[in-house]
A and B are shown apart, each in its own frame.
Chain A
């Protein structure tokens, strides 16, 4: 893992906002327990939401929580356009009641999705996926973060530096990017750079 000098970088740099570097912020305190309980009771489920709302971040957070509870967890990240699952490292060694997390489930064609669900069921592996749309799963968690959550996240990211990006900025950016938190944070990066540059850009 790459360790970064905190003071030397823009707080909205990729190294601070990558899904595996920050924990998912739930809108209310009771939700993490509710989500975990739902998943465990159903023996799997899906996290659904549009682009940039934190699905991958939530999956990383859930993965850490499941591992903390002693479960074996394997994770597969599907990229845009990836239509098949490459053999994953733990495929042969996964025990019954372990968890398989598939980020970007909607990338697979319908028959491959069905095959994966069937294989997991046959081997008693619990499947947790993220997707842009709902599929047939026993448990569904919809993500739709609001502007307040975006403000909290931005405040936390720049807590050691001071509020260079204000709540008003965040609310406006939230509207501009239609709730896409990832795009909002990229815009915050630019705003932060504009407001904190020590010298003007070189003119060519």
Chain B
């Protein structure tokens, strides 16, 4: 059975502006503490659409199970300053998604990945301001 990963963002609407601080917390359930090898949390953007895919990692943390962190399931929080670009974009041919990704590496079995998308900026407003 896959572990349950809950990801929470400080803004319930999940809408952020460039340069804004984003606070994120995550918690892991439905798995024994000793079954977790490591947990990686990242804030990243990823493209999708009709062409080649691309991605960029803005923030990355890796925690491993050791004497200091015997239970990686507990609520963990981190903060990051969001960049000025690229902004979230929902175009016809290309889309750019921002998300928080938590990846749980298990002692046995494949890694489990959980994503929580959020929006960075409002491109339409930015374009209107620029013009």
Q: How large is the interface on B (under 10, 10 to 19, 20 to 34, 35 or more residues)?
A: 10 to 19
Report yes or no: A9 in contact with B95, Cβ–Cβ below 8 A.
yes
Which chain B positions have C-beta within 8 A of A202?
A: 124, 127
Nearest Cβ on chain A to B21's Cβ, whole angstroms? 23
> Is A4 within 8 A of B50, CB to CB?
no
Specify which of B53, B99, B115, B124 is in contact with A15 (CB 8 Å cutoff): B53
Given the known inter-chain contacts A14-B53, A15-B53, please indicate yes or no for A4 contacting B92, CB distance below 8 A. no
Q: Are B92 and A201 in contact, CB atoms less than 8 angstroms apart?
A: yes
B49 contacts partner chain A, Cβ-Cβ < 8 Å: yes
What string of 1s and 0s marks CB contacts (under 8 Å) between B12-51 and chain A? 0000000000000000000000000000000000101111
User: Per-residue CB proximity of A58-98 to B under 8 Å, as 1/0?
Assistant: 00000000000000000000000000000000000000000
B55 near A: Cβ within 8 Å? yes
A186 in contact (CB, < 8 A): yes
Q: Which residues of B contact A14 (CB under 8 A)?
A: 48-53
Contact with B along A1-39 (1 / 0, CB 8 A): 011110011100111000000000000000000000000
Which residues from A are CB-within-8-Å of B3? none
